[in-house]
Amino acid sequence: MSKTTNQKAWILVVPVVVLVAFNALIPLMTVVNYSVQETFGNNVFFWEGVKWFEEVLNSSRFHASFMRQLAFTGTILLIEIPLGIAVALSMPKKGPWVSVCLVLMALPLLIPWNVVGAMWNIFALPDIGLLGRMINGLGINYNFTQQPAAAWATTILMDVWHWTSLVVLLSYAGLCAIPDAYYQAAKIDGASAWAVFWRIQLPKMKRVLTIAILLRFMDSFMIYTEPFVLTGGGPGNTTTFLSIDLVKIALGQFDLGPAAAMSLIYFFIVLLMCWVFYTLMMRDEEQ
């Protein structure tokens, strides 16, 4: 659709800009401020330049939590996106069951994140939890509070439980938007189910899937509350992702300088990846 140039449109945007700027720019400047200074308390600050940035970028602790974060985000994307598409493809197209499916599937999305963590904690505990009992009953020694592998598996399963529905809802919406004529044409041509998926459904879902990947990437990269409540970042540091590490440094040890520098690097990484996604998406849309 062609848009007309009209500078007065700014008036309509001003309230949004004011509100978001108040919430974004002032705190961001505070973080920038901390990131270049040293403090010994009493509000006395000393200029430190880029010292904290060098320290964070060279610290093995940051590298470790960054790698854990990448591994976690990569794994959940690889599971949630295909699973979400598969569930959406096999959902009924119309009838009373559509509402039932949508309501039940959306339920995990609306549970507060710490409740999700607490719920999975009592669900997976080896002594009182259903999942823990079941796995141990199969003869597998499972205790996520002590075994790093079990802690990882539980965290990933929790995230799949929590967020796959978002991918399902988006994919389903994309599928519903495909006109019936496409399917009829495919039927006349005698196309296989696989060909229909590959040539019609997947290309038509491209837009919603980009959004799904973008949202899942951003949110999983910032994940804090759920793993914190479930495992507390442990056992040891094995499930300490970037946000958990950041909060430990900032509010636990009160090392404001390194924490602020880490915040900015962290924010910058998320921003960079999202910018790449966003430009790709917009380029597609203009074609």
CA distance 104 to 107: 5
Element (H, E) at 182: helix 180-188
- Residue 103, interface with other proteins (CB under 8 A)? yes
Judged by phi (left if over 0) then psi (alpha if -120 to 50, else beta), residue 94 lies in beta
CB of 252 to other proteins, least distance (A): 12
CB of 260 to other proteins, least distance (A): 9
Contact 214, 274 (CB under 8 A): yes
Residue pointed to by tokens 């700027």: 21
CA distance 141 to 134: 11
Of 22 and 198, CB closest to other proteins = 22
CA distance 229 to 150: 16
CB of 47 to other proteins, least distance (A): 19
CB of 189 to other proteins, least distance (A): 20
CB of 251 to other proteins, least distance (A): 7
- Residue 47, interface with other proteins (CB under 8 A)? no
CB of 58 to other proteins, least distance (A): 21
- Residue 57, interface with other proteins (CB under 8 A)? no
- Which span sits near other proteins by CB under 8 A: 3-11, 49-57, 141-149, 230-238? 3-11
Cα-based angle 278, 272, 247 (whole degrees, multiple of 5):
120
245-284 residues near other proteins, rule: CB under 8 A: 246-247, 250-251, 256, 259, 263-264, 266-267, 270-271, 274-275, 278
- Which span sits near other proteins by CB under 8 A: 40-48, 59-67, 71-79, 161-169? 161-169
Of 67 and 177, CB closest to other proteins = 177
DSSP conformation letters of 108-137? GGGS-HHHHHHHHHHHH-TTT-HHHHHHHH
- Dihedral angle of Cα 238, 239, 243, 249, to the nearest 10 degrees: -40
| Number of residues engaging other proteins in binding (CB under 8 A) | 94
Q: Which of 45, 66, 161, 183 binds other proteins (CB under 8 A)?
A: 161
171-230 residues near other proteins, rule: CB under 8 A: 172-174, 176-177, 208, 211, 215, 218, 221-222, 224-225, 229
Q: Which of 105, 156, 209, 230 binds other proteins (CB under 8 A)?
A: 105
Residue among 233, 255, 212, 230 at smallest CA distance from 69: 233
CB of 239 to other proteins, least distance (A): 15
CA distance 64 to 85: 32
Cα-based angle 276, 281, 282 (whole degrees, multiple of 5):
100
- Residue 79, interface with other proteins (CB under 8 A)? no
